[in-house]
Chains A and B, each alone.
Chain A
Amino acid sequence: MLEIKNLHARVNPEEGADLAILKGVDLTVPAGEVHAVMGPNGCGKSTLSYVLAGHEGYETTDGAIRFEGEDIGELEPEERAARGLFLSFQYPVEIPGVPTLTFLKEAANAQRRARGEAEISAPDFMKLARENAAKLGISNDMLKRPVNVGFSGGEKKRMEIFQALMLAPRFLILDETDSGLDIDALKVVAEGVNALRNPERGMLVITHYQRLLDHLKPDVVHVMAGGRIVESGGPELAHKLEAEGYDKYAGEAA
């Protein structure tokens, strides 16, 4: 479903120093599977999520990103979104003055238009919003606020998963979704993510710790270091990393 081949990327020279961050990432996530990417700080995990989503701050210098067989490496962020790629941000952005539901309805319909589908009606959208909010314990009051404004770190992460439920993407990238969450919030968020699991949907879970993975039970765990995937294995690899740390991969760092 998502195939990343020999992906090299650097910080866009216009935005700073010519700094290579991804140095040949190879990763394939088939439909229906959840893959985790773990690694020490600075290994390029978050950059990978931004590059997959099409952030202008990074430039792909080599390799390819294929999504359902299509090379999406040159597509705009909104074109990737319309194809079903959803990034749950490590730091969700506050957008004052734009109500959450207004924003999401616009986003949903922009994606539908881009796919040649009919727009969702306001009543259908509201019904869906109420159902999904209930699943995540999100109050009516939270939905009325501007996007992410005034939310705690944990609430923002919950709203990211709410957005994913509303937009029903084909593929989710969760970037450090566990950071800022206490144990109870982690459980709620994990349940929300698990509700999104199905045989047609893939997920890439980027995390520093194994605790979110205890709830999500990934099919494959990859270790990233020095801008590459250096080891892949089953869920037991996450526990091994938790016990032993990332020291043994230190030599891979550039």
Chain B
Amino acid sequence: MNALVKLSAFEAALAEALPEGDLRAELSARGLPHRRVEDWKWSDLRTALARFDPASPALTLTASRSPDRTAEPEHGERLMARLAGALGQGEVYELAPGERLSLDIRAEAGAGHKVIEVIVPDGAEAALHETYQAAPGALANIALVIRVGAGARLTRLIEQDASPDGVIVLTGELELAQGARAHQTTLGFGARLARLETRVRHAGGGAHLTLDGACHVGAGLHLDQTTIVRHEGPDGITRELFKSAAAPGGRAVFQGKIHVERPAQKTDAQMNHRALLLGEGAEIDAKPELEIYADDVVCAHGNALGALDAAALFYMRQRGLDDARARALLTESFLMEPLDAVADEAERERLKARLRASLGAVS
């Protein structure tokens, strides 16, 4: 693991910017995550960034309000999150009950890093809405730690705009306290490489987590949705539904892991990924995993990969829809399910309209 690699100019410049210490030594020795690192095997960040220039970073965060503090937010242990912590500024938001915080993040140039911590106090109900975009040649590297307090409820919505030739790495860590509820929905369109990672700890027992996602990845784009859910306390519930569609030349990745530790008895966890290849040259990679150390649990995962139903396409065309419209309508109906679970009607309809627009299907 510690074999020295030849750093790309991008990696060398990143390392140069770091203070002397473990992180700099680690980056210098191993470089950025790449395809021979198991949980990045389908998302070669190193190659995607090799020709980028990290100099003159321009990363803008537009928030619905100013942060409560800017000092030393948590960022977790992942390499990209630690880089964000070392190279980027931090912001901490403590949400008020009923608050709806929006964070719009755009990387305009260079390598931009940011660390954000969001706290939902015990018993509070709050919403977080994030939008991510990266301009050609720009990297947005964001570490986001979210603490959902005991009995608190969080609705999290992530929109990842199509970002051709930009790179987005989002390392999200959610911690669910006793009896917390979180419902996360992602709508993504890909980038040169976009990695949306969600790591969840059921730290207390009896928490209820829903992770949903829909993505439509067009030609030349790549979207990786990786989820790692760790049940540490008992009686936790996890529901995951991810739907991916990749156009020819597009690539969608889903990695999902549910880890149930020994004390997490009566865990009820289900993970589902369904994927649609929209033509020759589309690629979808999926790896669902369960790792269970408790003996009294209900856990299941499903993964299915298919193409558009030729019989349905012919049927629709016989009624007068052209081939492109029939494909768009079928793809739309396939991808809508995770979005249908968004409780806020206005948000739900807005997301659906975005997806329809992406499919070239306005109805």
Contact = CB atoms under 8 A, between A and B. Distances in A.
Contact of B315 (A92, A96, A110): A92
Contacts of A78: 317-318, 320-323
Contacts of B40: none
Which of A53, A110, A163 has the most chain B CB within a 10 Å cutoff? A110
Contacts of B325: 106, 110
Interface in B286-342: 309, 311-312, 314-323, 325, 329-330, 332-334, 336-337
A117 to B, nearest CB: 12
A93 B317 CA distance: 12
A107 B330 CA distance: 14
B333 A95 contact: yes
B363 interface: yes
Interface stretch (A19-27, A97-105, A179-187, A230-238): A97-105
B234 to A, nearest CB: 37
Given A104-B319, A106-B325, A110-B322, A97 B332 contact: yes
Contacts of A103: 316, 319, 329
B320 A81 contact: yes
Nearest to B311: A93
A194 B110 CA distance: 70
Contacts of B319: 81, 103-104, 107, 163, 167
A107 B333 contact: no
Interface residues of A, number: 32
A95 B312 contact: yes
A107 B315 contact: no
Contacts of A249: none
Contacts of A94: 312
Contacts of B320: 78, 81-82, 107-108, 110-111, 114, 167
Interface in A74-98: 76-78, 80-82, 86-87, 89, 92-98
A55 interface: yes
A98 B325 CA distance: 13
A52 B317 CA distance: 13
A56 interface: yes
Contacts of A89: 315, 318
A93 B312 contact: yes
B309 A93 contact: yes
A74 to B, nearest CB: 15
Contacts of A76: 317, 322-323
A106 B326 CA distance: 10
Given A97-B333, A98-B329, A55 B323 contact: no
Contacts, number: 73
Interface majority SS (helix, strand, loop, mixed), chain B: helix
B315 A95 contact: yes
B329 A96 contact: no
B310 to A, nearest CB: 8
A54 B322 CA distance: 13
A95 B330 contact: yes
A111 B318 CA distance: 10
B331 to A, nearest CB: 10
A57 B320 CA distance: 18
B344 to A, nearest CB: 21
A80 B319 CA distance: 9
Contacts of B334: 97
Contacts of B337: 97
A95 to B, nearest CB: 5
A173 B312 CA distance: 18
Nearest to A93: B315
A163 B318 CA distance: 11
A95 B315 CA distance: 9
Contact of A96 (B311, B317, B323, B333): B333
Which of B314, B316, B318, B329 has the most chain A CB within a 10 Å cutoff? B318
Contacts of B332: 97
B314 A77 contact: yes
Contacts of A77: 314, 317-318
A167 B323 CA distance: 19
A54 B323 CA distance: 13
A106 B356 CA distance: 14
Interface of A: 53-56, 76-78, 80-82, 86-87, 89, 92-98, 102-104, 106-108, 110-111, 114, 146, 163, 167
30 contacts: A53-B314, A55-B314, A77-B317, A77-B318, A78-B317, A78-B318, A78-B320, A78-B322, A80-B318, A81-B317, A81-B318, A81-B320, A89-B318, A95-B312, A95-B315, A95-B316, A95-B330, A96-B333, A97-B336, A97-B337, A102-B363, A103-B316, A103-B319, A104-B319, A106-B363, A107-B316, A107-B319, A110-B322, A111-B320, A114-B320
